[in-house]
Amino acid sequence: MIQITPHIAIHPDEIEEHFIRASGPGGQNVNKVASAVQLRFDMAKSPSLPDDVKQRLAVLAGQRLTKEGVIVITAQNHRLQERNRQDALARLVDLIRRATRRPRPRVPTRPTLGSKKRRLESKTRHGRTKVMRGKPGLD
């Protein structure tokens, strides 16, 4: 079991790993060795995650989430396949951990009396400036 929080753990069978060739520099080695890892986690069908965590996870995943509800994480920063596997798994765990935190509800506040007065004074000053820019009267 992959422990996410004290209450949430996902089974390793829920994660699929595919090894692909990494892009970028590397000479002959990059053309021969499939060191990049593409990790796939089916969030929509996962029995390990509560519904509220799934909703927040879908928002946090962004472009990494497919229409079917699968999170795809690609890791190709390291030369070794094992390091890329660890990196991809760590990124998935971090993403799920961030989704477990409930956002604090916004507490609406009212403007202070001083801020209201300052706003009205600045509006009055701005209005006077605009009046001064007008054509001179017959006075």
pLDDT given at position 107: 93
> How far apart, in Å, are the Cα atoms of 6 and each of 9, 10, 42, 49?
8, 11, 21, 13
Using the CB atoms, write b or e for 79-96: b if 16+ within 10 Å: eebeebbebbbebbeebb
Nearest to 66 by CA among 75, 54, 58: 58
The two three-digit tokens of residue 52, written as one number = 């509220």
Nearest to 84 by CA among 30, 4, 3: 30
pLDDT given at position 50: 84
Q: What's the pLDDT band for 26 if we cut at 50, 70, 90? A: low
Q: Given 3-state DSSP classes, what are the helix, strand and coil percentages for the chain, each rounded to the nearest 5?
A: 45, 15, 40
For the chain, domains (ranges, CATH) are 2-100 (3.30.160.20)
pLDDT tens track for 87-119: 888 988 898 888 888 889 999 999 999 999 999
| Rounded CA separation 36/20 (Å) | 5
pTM: 0.67
Q: Answer yes or no: is pLDDT of 56 > 80.
A: yes
Q: Answer yes or no: is pLDDT of 127 > 90.
A: yes
Number of helices (H), then strands (E), belonging to the chain: the values are 4, 5
Whether the CB-CB separation of 38 and 21 falls below 8 Å is answered with no
Q: What is the DSSP letter of 44?
A: T
pLDDT tens track for 128-139: 999 989 888 776
Helix (H) or strand (E) holding 119: helix 113-132
